[in-house]
Structure 1
Amino acid sequence: MENLDLGPYNIQYLPGDHYVLDVSGNNPAKGAGVIGYTLKLPQVGNQQWLFVPAPQAPGWWYLQTKMGTGFVLTLQPDSPVVPTPVVMMPVGLSDADRQLWSLLSTEEPGYWYIQCKSGASNSNAPLVIGLADNKVEASAVAGPISFTGFRAQAWGFKPVGSAG
């Protein structure tokens, strides 16, 4: 079996390739928002992500920040809004599916939908991460997958420290 490269990665937004997922303001607080932001150099932990296998759900992953908090990407708990804001929370919510993610291929080679396990079923459209707008500091949100507007929900994974 091949060893998996679990990161760290910059998670790069396909439209324009100029934004990456970023913990807003490098905020270490529980519930901090996640945004699209210009890649910072030198690279910083609030823009670096690790894939952590979820032992209770094979094939699903936690996406953990390298900030040292141990927090993971989470659909905002108890949010009735769709698209739902993506925030940082410690692992262990009672609704663990809000913290579990998988990758689905898009039409663009090398780019992926980041699908949340919450609500995933044969009868519901998967919720995938996009940005509320294609501008700096736009909030990361999870909404129903769009196969026609896939570019606005497509992400690439660039190993930290790689050029280009």
Structure 2
Amino acid sequence: MQELQVQIDFDRFPERYTCDGEDISPGITIQGLNEPYIAVIMDDPDNPGGRFTHWLIWNVKATDRIPEGIPPQNRIEHPIAAVQGMNDFRRVGYGGPCPSRGELHRYVIRVYGVKTELELPPGAARIDLEDVLKATATQYGETAAVCERKEVLATPGSL
């Protein structure tokens, strides 16, 4: 599989991309894409209950930048055209990092160059996307960032 260069603009998730902020998807820069479509899977491999999926998006037309703030809808046309799947929050679209307070987790963004549009219905599960990608992805790259939610300290008189 050919390598893609994948970048985001931070090493530590800014609050705006997390459950404590605006909970919007980050922008993703992609270099070296030779295929007409992109698929993205974002997950938390450090989740104590097992790998937790935060975002599934596919049929993104070839671009060197997926913009931030992709709407949480099954099919989107703006700012890009794409289809989104069901994350492990049981919602369609992006769900930002939200580790337990005081825990530091890694979040991996996996980007696939795909040779054809994927025949998957909106809201599809990760396992279905991964099965289709096995046959259609010819390029792959990933990047990661961490997130830690600060512990909330008790205020005097609140105990």
**TM-score for the superposition, normalised by structure 1:** 0.29
Larger radius of gyration: 2
